[in-house]
Amino acid sequence: MTRSRRRDVLIIVGDILSILSHKGPIRKTRLMHLANLNPQSFSRLATRLHRLGLLETTCSRGVCLYNITRKGSFFLSLLRVLQRGLGIESETRQEGAKENAYAAVMKAARGLGLEHQVSSLVTGSTGTSYLHDIVLTTKHKEVLTINMLIDNEPSTIRQYELGAIMASCLDTRLPHLIIVSQSLEDYYKTLFARLGKGCRTLISVLHRDPIHQS
């Protein structure tokens, strides 16, 4: 049966890494066939995954084989954790919750003498840019990224956003503040703790002071 819905990009990445984890190293054509991708889509994704260090190729006598890297295996395990977490129900969406969080963060930033940029990009060591809800800066240098996951329902949208935040945390090495709903605080703390010391993440709920939360 043909799939009528487009697959989320993070799901496709998970498919590719999972195939490589079980069957790699394999040829490009075989990988494309198993992942159900056309050459153009595969090339774009493979370039990104190479850049992020999630997959590698080895060539010998004109034959190139694709395989997952150690970092790719680690990222795949994170994706699986995220997918299992999609069943968690979030608390009822509160009207204006996100706006209140923005206001609290900006007030705290001004008190600390920091500047802020809304919906701003930061670039990691791989050259990849990541979009964050707020980026705090001092003397034009990024010091903290902030993401509001207050009213996100457990969906592929949240899964994609979390994957991007995790990648940003590991790639940029900047501290990342995640503001969440109270019912999901423990879930996010457990999730980001798996990244270890490579990712400096603070998890805070809306009713607390997000900047001074330890």
Among 64-68, 74-78, 86-90, 193-197, name the one with the lowest average pLDDT. Answer: 86-90
Cα–Cα distance, 37 to 166 (Å, whole number): 25
**Which residue shows structure tokens 């009207």?**
95
Q: What is the pLDDT of residues 87-119, one digit of tens each?
A: 332 333 344 566 666 677 777 777 777 888 887
At residue 116, the pLDDT reads 80
pLDDT band of 80, cuts 50, 70, 90: low
Rounded Cα–Cα distance for residues 156 and 51 (Å): 24
pLDDT confidence of residue 158: 60
**pLDDT cut 90: percent of the chain above it:** 7
Distance CA 148, CA 133 (A): 7
pLDDT at 71 over 90: no
Is the pLDDT assigned to residue 206 strictly greater than 70?
Answer: no
pLDDT at 65: 94
Tens of pLDDT, residues 2-17: 333 445 676 788 888 8
Give the pLDDT band (50/70/90) at residue 57: very high
Least confident of 24-28, 126-130, 178-182: 178-182
* pLDDT at position 38: 87
pLDDT band, very low/low/confident/very high, at 56 (cuts 50, 70, 90): very high
Find the largest Cα–Cα distance for the chain.
Answer: 62
Domains of the chain by range and CATH? Answer: 9-83 (1.10.10.10), 90-205 (3.40.1350)
Q: Scanning the structure block, which residue is given the tokens 């954790």?
A: 81
Is pLDDT larger for residue 97 or for residue 142? 142
